[in-house]
Each structure stands twice: as C-alpha cells, then as structure tokens.
Amino acid sequence: MERTMDWEQKTLLNELTQGKQLTNLLRQHLHPSSSPETRQVLLEKILCSYEKALSMLNWGGFVVETKPTGSTLESPASIANSSLGSGGSDKKDVSKKRKTSSGWTEELRVCSGTSLEGPLDDGYCWRKYGQKDILGSNFPRGYYRCTHRHSQGCLATKQVQRSDEDHTIFEVKYRGRHTCNQVSHFAVTSAPVTREMSKEQGNHSRKRQQLEEKQKQSQEMFMSLGAGLKVKTEELDPREDIFPSFPFPVESEEVENSMFANSLMENEIMGNLSPTFMSPATSESNYFSVSPCHMGSFGFAQNMQTSESDLTEIISAPTSVTNSPIGDLDISSLDKLEFDPSFPFDNAEFFS
C-alpha cells in the first residue's frame, strides 16, 4: 500500500540527510590538518548520496549520470525503489505495476555444473514472492525480494530461472540494491545457499536457523563447484545498463572496470582470490563503518560489455561469489581506499 511510498520517501530522506551530514563532516575536515583522502572520500560519499536521491526522483527517466572515474557513484536506490512496489496494490502510485525489463540491472548466469544442483546463493536472504511460467521457457521464473524489505526497506529483488538449454544453469537477474544491513556469512565465505532452487529440490530451509549448516554445506559446495562455476553477465541494452546497481556478482565486472582492475584481475583470473582484500573480517568491519554509500556504486561494469562474454568465462564464480559481500560493502566509493593501505580505516570514524 502506501508503504512503498513511505519507503521511497524514507530512503530519499535518508540519502539527503546523509548528504547533509557528510557535508558537515567535510566542512569539519577542511582543516589543513585533515587528510586529503578523507576529504576525497567524504566528497564521493556526498555525491553518492545525492545521486541516489536524484536517481530516486528520476527513476522513470533513468537519469543517472555516472562518471567513469574511479569514484563510481551511482544511484543505487533508484533502481531498487523503482518499482518494486511493495505491498500496496490498490494504490495508484506503484503497486502491481510492471516494470519493463529495463529495470533489471544485471543478469547473471550461475551454473552449477557439478554434483550439487542449484545455483549459488549470493549471500542475501531472499524471500520468494511469486513464480511465473514464462512463455517459451520450460521452467518457471521465480521472483524474490530481500527478506528485509519490510524491516529495513531493502528493495533489492531478483529473478531466478532455470535455463532451458542447460537445466543446471540458473539465470539470475538482479534489480535494486540491498539497502539492508544484512551481511551474510555465506557471502563472506562465498557460501552458496540456494533458495532459488528450493522448490525444485524441496529443500526448504529457514536461513537463520540453519545458517550454520548451510554455511558448511555451501562451503563444501563451493569447493566442489569451484572450477565448474560460471557467472555470466548478459548484455543488456546499453542504455538500460546505465544503472549497474547490483552488488553481488556483477562485481566481477566492475572490478574489471575499476582502476585497480588490472592487478586484481590478474589475481582473480589466475584463481588467486586475494583473501586479504576480501577477508570476511575486513568486509564486515568496513561494511558498517563505511556504509553511507554502501549500496552505491557498482556501476560502470556495463561499459565493459565488450569482452564480457570472454571474460565472464574467465571470471569464475568463485570470484564473483567471493566478492559479492564486498560488493555490498561499497567498493564503489571506497575502491581506491580499499586498496590503499595508507588510507585505511583510521578514517572510518568519520562514517559512523
């Protein structure tokens, strides 16, 4: 019902408020004594907040100018808020409105080719809210939204559908960005828990309760799947891709785009995920300390569509999965920092 609007407004308000607070912070750090990095970060976050807010207001128009610079700030919430009209249907504003495909920011293919069937989970808690038989598809498409939709107003959603060609492949589309504080251990540990396949397998498990169990499982799964996993991003209309707003796997692409891509990519492609960079501990701790834009900036991955198909093959699931949590962490705006040992989080205090 009106909740949708409330959330949007709330989110919008939060962004604007955040922008204001960050601006104040920046003002405080205008002193010469303050480090330039700090100011830079604050600046980016401020921009991030405002872009989010603006994009929210412009959802329908897809107006988000992203700067191909390192400080990829994009409008996260925009997409998320876009439409997932939550609950209220009777209200004219949002409700059961159907968004065109353009709303989907990312499409991935998760292939679990080995013993363990089912797609990898991205580490978030999803709640299924619908299923549809799609014309021309042998398998139904499942619709999921973030479990924290109501509690935290997280508007992230995803679609999962088994591939006709290869039923071991799950095509996953994401839309919206997680604005919840959810930090999944799966994600961190790259554990794949597959809710989307729950139906097919009749394996319904309540996440929290069985979290640990899953974690184990998924880890094993992950290990076994390892090489066999593939995560592909499919090309979308360039225009539609303006919003690369999805945290999870997409990340791999972003990494490619990012300035530090080279070095990182090398490592990842070679199968050496840099644990240091994405150590769970780091992720989580940073997650909270640097959350202002944590959902915000993954974009620009799309620019890379060029060699996507090839790269994606290379960029094995491990990478994306492993990274997913981080993606959520806000690599975007902090990307540089993440890799800058000098910057670190002694500055994190600013983001409280």
Partner DNA sequence: GCAATTTGACCAGT
Partner DNA sequence: ACTGGTCAAATTGC
Q: Which residues bind DNA (CB under 7 A)?
A: 1, 4, 83-90, 92, 94-101, 104, 125-136, 141-143, 145, 147, 157, 159, 175, 195, 198-199, 204, 206, 209
User: Long-range contacts: 89-95, Cβ < 8 Å, 24+?
Assistant: 89/1, 90/1, 91/1, 91/2, 91/4, 91/5, 93/4, 93/5, 94/4, 94/5, 95/4
Minimum CB distance to DNA smaller for 61 or for 136: 136
Q: Report, in Å, the least distance between residue 234 CB and DNA.
A: 14
Question: Reduced to 3 states, what is the DSSP secondary structure of residue 113?
Answer: coil
| Dist. CA 296–CA 14, nearest whole Å | 14
Q: Report, in Å, the least distance between residue 192 CB and DNA.
A: 15
Minimum CB distance to DNA smaller for 197 or for 301: 197
Q: Report, in Å, the least distance between residue 206 CB and DNA.
A: 5
Return the CA Rg of the chain.
19
Minimum CB distance to DNA smaller for 159 or for 319: 159
Q: Report, in Å, the least distance between residue 160 CB and DNA.
A: 11
Phi, psi torsion values for 132, nearest 5 degrees: -140, 145
DSSP 220: H
- For every residue of 240-257, DSSP letters joined together read GGG-----TTTHHHHHHH
Q: Report, in Å, the least distance between residue 332 CB and DNA.
A: 24
Minimum CB distance to DNA smaller for 96 or for 167: 96
**Which residues, 6+ apart, have CB-to-CB distance to 180 below 8 Å?**
146, 148, 151, 152, 153, 154, 156
User: For residue 18, what are its two tokens?
Assistant: 């955040």
Minimum CB distance to DNA smaller for 162 or for 195: 195
- For every residue of 74-93, DSSP letters joined together read --HHHHHHHH---S--SSSS
β-bridge partners, 107? 173
Minimum CB distance to DNA smaller for 39 or for 141: 141
User: For residue 278, what are its two tokens?
Assistant: 């994405």
Minimum CB distance to DNA smaller for 163 or for 198: 198
Q: Report, in Å, the least distance between residue 315 CB and DNA.
A: 25
Residue 164 CA: distances (Å) to CA of 73, 139, 167, 265: 36, 7, 6, 31
Q: Report, in Å, the least distance between residue 128 CB and DNA.
A: 4
